[in-house]
C-alpha cells in the first residue's frame, strides 16, 4: 500500500511541474488580458461608451476570477486535491468560483443582446439600450450570480443531505469541492448556461444573417463589377470566422463543464480527472474573452497598441476608418460617396458603438 503510494507520487512529480507551469500561464494571461481591457477603457475617452460598459464588466469579472479563484484552484490541483486553508475559506472560495463564473457567462449573454438590438434595430437602439437598462442588467447579473453561489452553498441547498459541504475529512485529508444535487444542477445549469446559450446562438445567427445581407447589397452598389464578385466572399468569410470564434469559444469552454455538472447532479460521481479538465476548460474562457471581445475590435486594438507603446490616448487618437484604407481604386467617386453616407448613417444610429461596428464591419457591411 505504501509502496504504491510512493510510486504514484514519483510518477506525478513531472506531471505536477507541467501542470503547475500550464496553470500559472493561464492565470497570468487571464489577469493581464483583463487588466489591459480595463486600462484602455479608463485611459481612452473614445472607448467610454455604453456598450463598452458591458465589456469592462466582463473584464472586471474575469479579472476577479483570475485573482481570487484561479490561484487557489491551481494550488489545489498541484497539491493533489488537499485543501490546507480550512473549511470556512474553502466554501467562500467555492462560492466565489461559482459566482464569478456565472457572472462572466451572464455578461457574455448581455453583450449578445446588446449586439442584437444594435444590428436589428439601429434606429431604436439608443432608446432601448439606455444607461438605466444597462444598470438594471448589471444588477440582475450579480443578483442571479449571488443567488446560485453564496446563498445555496452556505445554507446547504446544494447537497443531498442539506448539510454544509466539505465539513468531513475524506481519506484523512480535507477536500474542497462543490457538492451538487439534482435540483441545484437543474436550476443552476438551465438558468445560467443552457438558456443563455440558446439565446446567444439565436442572436448571433440573426446578426450574421443581417450583416451578410447588408454586405451583399452594399458591395453590389458600391464597387465595380470585378471587385463586386470578390469582396462578399472575403468579407462574409471574416464574419463567419469572427462570430464562429465568439460562439465557438463559449461553447467549447463551457458546454463540457455544464454537461458533466448536470450529470453529477442527476447520476452521481464523475472521474476526478475529467472534472478537473472540464473545469479548467471553463476557466480558459476568461483568458479568451479579452481577445474575442476586445482584441478583435479595431478601436480596442489601436488602444492596446498605444498603451503598450506608452503613447497618449484620448479623443484625438482616432484610427483611420477601414473603408478609407482598403477602398478599391476602381470605385467611382459617386460609389465611394455612397459608402461614406452608409458609414455616417450607421455611426449616427449606433452612436459609434464600437462593438456593433466591428460586428457589422467584419461582415463587410461598412468596410
Given a cut of 70, is residue 27 above it in pLDDT?
yes
127-163: pLDDT as tens digits? 988 999 999 999 999 999 999 999 999 999 999 888 8
Does a structural domain hold residue 212?
Answer: yes
pLDDT confidence of 229, banded at 50, 70, 90?
A: very low
Which structural domain range is residue 301 located in?
2-361
How many angstroms separate the CA atoms of 349 and 347, rounded?
6
How many angstroms separate the CA atoms of 322 and 364, rounded?
10
Given a cut of 90, is residue 63 above it in pLDDT?
yes
How many angstroms separate the CA atoms of 97 and 100, rounded?
5
pLDDT confidence of 222, banded at 50, 70, 90?
A: low
- Count of structural domains, the chain: 1
266-298: pLDDT as tens digits? 988 888 889 999 999 999 999 999 888 776 778
Which of 62-71, 93-102, 183-192, 328-337 has the least mean pLDDT? 328-337
Q: Of the candidates 203, 202, 212, 206, which has an alpha carbon nearest to the alpha carbon of residue 362?
A: 212
Does a structural domain hold residue 366?
Answer: no
Does a structural domain hold residue 70?
Answer: yes
CATH of the domain at 27: 1.20.1070.10
Does a structural domain hold residue 86?
Answer: yes
C-alpha grid cell, residue 220:
453590389
> What is this structure's pTM?
0.78
Given a cut of 70, is residue 80 above it in pLDDT?
yes
Does a structural domain hold residue 216?
Answer: yes
Does a structural domain hold residue 211?
Answer: yes
Does a structural domain hold residue 367?
Answer: no
Q: Of the candidates 286, 263, 264, 260, which has an alpha carbon nearest to the alpha carbon of residue 274?
A: 260
Does a structural domain hold residue 9?
Answer: yes
Amino acid at each position: 500500500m505504501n509502496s504504491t503510494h510512493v510510486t504514484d507520487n514519483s510518477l506525478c512529480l513531472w506531471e505536477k511541474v507541467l501542470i503547475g507551469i500550464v496553470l500559472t500561464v493561464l492565470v497570468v494571461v487571464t489577469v493581464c488580458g483583463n487588466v489591459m481591457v480595463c486600462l484602455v477603457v479608463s485611459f481612452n475617452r473614445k472607448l467610454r461608451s455604453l456598450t463598452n460598459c458591458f465589456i469592462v464588466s466582463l473584464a472586471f469579472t474575469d479579472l476577479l476570477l483570475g485573482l481570487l479563484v484561479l490561484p487557489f484552484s491551481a494550488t489545489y490541483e498541484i497539491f493533489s486535491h488537499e485543501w490546507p486553508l480550512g473549511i470556512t475559506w474553502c466554501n467562500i472560495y467555492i462560492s466565489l468560483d461559482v459566482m464569478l463564473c456565472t457572472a462572466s457567462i451572464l455578461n457574455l449573454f448581455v453583450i449578445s443582446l446588446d449586439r442584437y438590438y444594435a444590428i436589428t434595430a439601429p434606429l431604436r437602439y439608443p432608446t432601448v439600450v439606455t444607461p438605466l437598462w444597462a444598470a438594471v442588467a448589471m444588477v440582475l447579473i450579480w443578483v442571479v450570480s449571488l443567488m446560485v453561489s453564496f446563498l445555496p452553498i452556505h445554507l446547504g441547498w446544494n447537497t443531498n443531505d442539506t448539510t454544509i459541504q466539505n465539513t468531513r475529512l475524506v481519506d484523512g485529508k480535507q477536500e474542497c469541492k462543490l457538492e451538487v444535487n439534482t435540483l441545484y444542477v437543474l436550476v443552476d445549469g438551465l438558468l445560467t448556461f443552457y438558456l443563455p446559450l440558446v439565446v446567444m446562438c439565436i442572436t448571433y445567427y440573426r446578426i450574421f444573417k443581417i450583416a451578410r445581407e447588408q454586405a451583399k447589397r452594399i458591395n453590389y452598389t458600391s464597387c465595380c463589377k470585378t471587385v463586386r464578385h470578390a469582396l462578399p466572399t472575403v468579407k462574409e468569410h471574416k464574419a463567419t470566422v469572427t462570430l464562429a470564434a465568439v460562439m465557438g469559444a463559449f461553447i467549447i469552454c463551457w458546454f463540457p463543464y455544464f454537461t458533466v455538472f448536470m450529470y453529477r447532479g442527476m447520476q452521481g460521481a464523475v472521474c476526478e480527472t475529467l472534472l478537473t479538465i472540464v473545469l479548467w476548460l471553463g476557466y480558459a474562457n476568461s483568458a479568451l474573452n479579452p481577445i474575442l471581445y476586445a482584441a478583435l475590435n479595431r478601436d480596442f486594438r489601436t488602444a492596446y497598441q498605444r498603451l503598450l507603446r506608452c503613447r497618449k490616448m484620448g479623443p484625438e487618437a482616432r484610427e483611420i476608418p477601414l473603408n478609407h484604407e482598403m477602398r478599391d481604386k476602381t470605385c467611382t467617386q459617386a460609389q465611394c460617396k455612397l459608402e461614406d453616407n452608409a458609414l455616417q448613417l450607421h455611426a449616427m444610429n449606433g452612436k459609434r458603438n464600437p462593438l456593433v461596428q466591428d460586428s457589422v464591419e467584419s461582415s463587410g457591411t461598412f468596410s
